Amino acid sequence: IAFIIFGALFNEQAELVFNEAQAFVSLRFGWFFIVVINLALLMSVYLIFSRYGDIRLGYQTERPEYNLVSWIGMLFSAGIGIGLIYWGTSEPLYHFMAPPLGEGETIEAAKLAMNISFLHYGFHVWALYGVVALALAYFHYRVGLPLAIRSTLYPLIGKKIYGPMGHTVDTLAVFGTMFGVVTTLGLGVLQINSGLDSLFGIPNSITTQIILIACITGFASLSLMLGVDKGIKRLSDINILFTFVLLTFVIILGPTQFIFNSLIENTGNYLHQAIPLGMWTESYEGEENWQSAWTIFYWAWWISWSPFVGVFVARISRGRTIREFILGVLLIPVAILFLWFTAFGGSAVNMELMAAVNPDLASPGLVEAVKADSSSAIFKLMELYPFTEATSLLIVVMITLWFVTSSDSASFVVDMLTSGGDTNPPKVQRLFWAGTEGVIAAILLAAGGLSALQAASIVSGFPFAIVIVIMMYSLLRGLSRDRLVLYRNQQWFDTEESAEHNSANEFRDEELLEGPPDLQKDD
């Protein structure tokens, strides 16, 4: 409430405060964001190949609650949606036009642009989501604790998670989720406004954007009342279908051969440069202005999103093994994202590159569109394809659906956190959080637009980055204990003492988790 009043009544002062806070955190602690992101990736790789990979999120005989297609759809829509549409075309073009290293609008700049875009949406991001979601799912389904951030600290502080320390951790998660999600909602509204301007001439103004926020928040509230299965799941399934339809359209009617050729090369370049770029701190380039505006902003944005995505992905991932979970979270969304960035951003960069080296070709004007308004880049690209109006309208619908699923998913998660980890929290509270997200998004747009949105993400992401480091250590402790219990139980089951107990070879998993009678007290 204090934030809303301050932003609404003192716009200019709020914009100044946001920018100064962003500059302080990103310049002083940018290195810390980079360390946290790389630790998450390192831990994800370790868990895939470790002895913990066959531990199931639930009883060992359980099967996944949702099928793979629905799981991917909800995972994808919760984790990246609007950002994909907003930056998929404009970010590669921007880095091609103004790269952080070297000369712009060259072949080297084009390769670097794709590397940086892949970095910002690649394995580092999904490793972060995966680690947070895994910690939440493990302590909820495996240990029986509430589905809340506080539960991940149980191996370290025990029952104190139900006291002030636990409340503090969950409160930081709520703040991070709120500001991370409203950043995405703000970007979505900016792009919807650009699309409506292109299609129907609706003016691109703050008034229009606030009206759009109010309308779409209303749709999100309706979806929210239907719950996960009837609301969020169905909208996610529809949007993943639209995503593949648009992606297929661009690949078939665009430079098909270039897209697939460059996808292979872009992926190879990214894998080759993932470690150097992932740990690049701009320390030898003087002032760290570029990192602050791009990589540090992204890392903070994803960190502030991680409690929301983590809780939601944990909620839909019961029954999967740790290895299956990490591989699914890492590989499937990243593969789709890389193809998307290559088809949209890579094709756009190639068009501009060909026009630059061949005087006979007219510039498609995509770089100029990014300079004028980043949110308009994808609509400008669609003007070079047939059925421009239909595809532009589809993009507006997709952004709206991403907006709705992001808003109602975030409201659902925040409601769970503020209800002590209840997986079916009161619906009236979900409506309150959905409305609050809409109001804060409107406030940030009025108090500085994109720069205010970025500042909110960076500042709110910093304290939760510290929590994530503690969470990773706590998860490793919990997994180590879990594996020891399973081993000791198996040793007991193999003895003659358990012969009568296992004569039918039909153990209940509850017994496996609880342990044999003489071990229950210790374990």
In a domain, 154, yes or no: yes
8 A C-beta contact, residue 79 and residue 240: no
Q: What is the pTM of this model?
A: 0.85
Q: For residue 448, how far is the Cα from the chain centroid? A: 23
Domain range enclosing 389: 2-480
8 A C-beta contact, residue 132 and residue 306: yes
Q: Is 67 helix (H, G, I), strand (E, B) or coil?
A: coil
In a domain, 190, yes or no: yes
In a domain, 296, yes or no: yes
Predicted pLDDT at 4: 77
Predicted pLDDT at 519: 39
Average pLDDT, the chain: 83
Q: How many domains does the chain have?
A: 1
Q: Is 221 helix (H, G, I), strand (E, B) or coil?
A: helix
d(CA 305, CA 433) in angstroms, rounded, equals 16
Torsion of CA 272, 279, 104, 289, to 10 degrees: 170
Q: For residue 470, how far is the Cα from the chain centroid? A: 20
In a domain, 197, yes or no: yes
List the structure tokens of 160: 């104190």
256-278 and 123-137 helices cross at what angle (nearest 10)? 70
Q: pLDDT tens digits, residue range 352-401?
A: 988 877 777 767 888 888 888 888 889 999 999 999 999 999 998 888 88
Q: pLDDT tens digits, residue range 245-264?
A: 999 999 999 999 999 999 99
Q: pLDDT tens digits, residue range 123-139?
A: 999 999 999 999 999 99
In a domain, 405, yes or no: yes
Predicted pLDDT at 373: 82
List the structure tokens of 406: 């992001």
In a domain, 291, yes or no: yes
Range of lowest pLDDT (84-88, 109-113, 137-141, 350-354): 84-88
Whether 51 shows a pLDDT value over 50: the answer reads: yes
CATH value at residue 59: 1.20.1740
In a domain, 177, yes or no: yes
Range of lowest pLDDT (23-32, 275-284, 401-410): 401-410
DSSP conformational letter for 201: -
Q: pLDDT tens digits, residue range 454-470?
A: 777 778 888 899 999 99
* Residue written as token pair 């430079």: 255
Predicted pLDDT at 447: 73
Compute CA distances 360 → 211, 255, 352, 363, whole Å. Answer: 45, 19, 13, 10
SS (H, E, C) 360-378: CCCCCCHHHHHHHCHHHHH
d(CA 302, CA 311) in angstroms, rounded, equals 14
Closest to 132 in 3D by CA, of 380, 464, 399: 464
Which percentage of the chain shows pLDDT scores above 90? 33
Q: pLDDT tens digits, residue range 141-184?
A: 988 898 889 999 999 999 999 999 999 999 888 888 888 778 77
Predicted pLDDT at 507: 39
Q: pLDDT tens digits, residue range 314-330?
A: 888 999 999 999 999 99
Q: Residue 181 corresponds to which amino acid?
A: V
For 507: left if phi > 0, alpha if psi spans -120 to 50, otherwise beta; the answer is: beta
Whether 288 shows a pLDDT value over 70: the answer reads: no
Predicted pLDDT at 238: 81
Where are the alpha helices (H) located in 279-376, listed in sequence order?
289-293, 295-315, 322-341, 347-357, 366-372
Q: Is 146 helix (H, G, I), strand (E, B) or coil?
A: coil
Predicted pLDDT at 229: 57
In a domain, 436, yes or no: yes
8 A C-beta contact, residue 38 and residue 279: yes
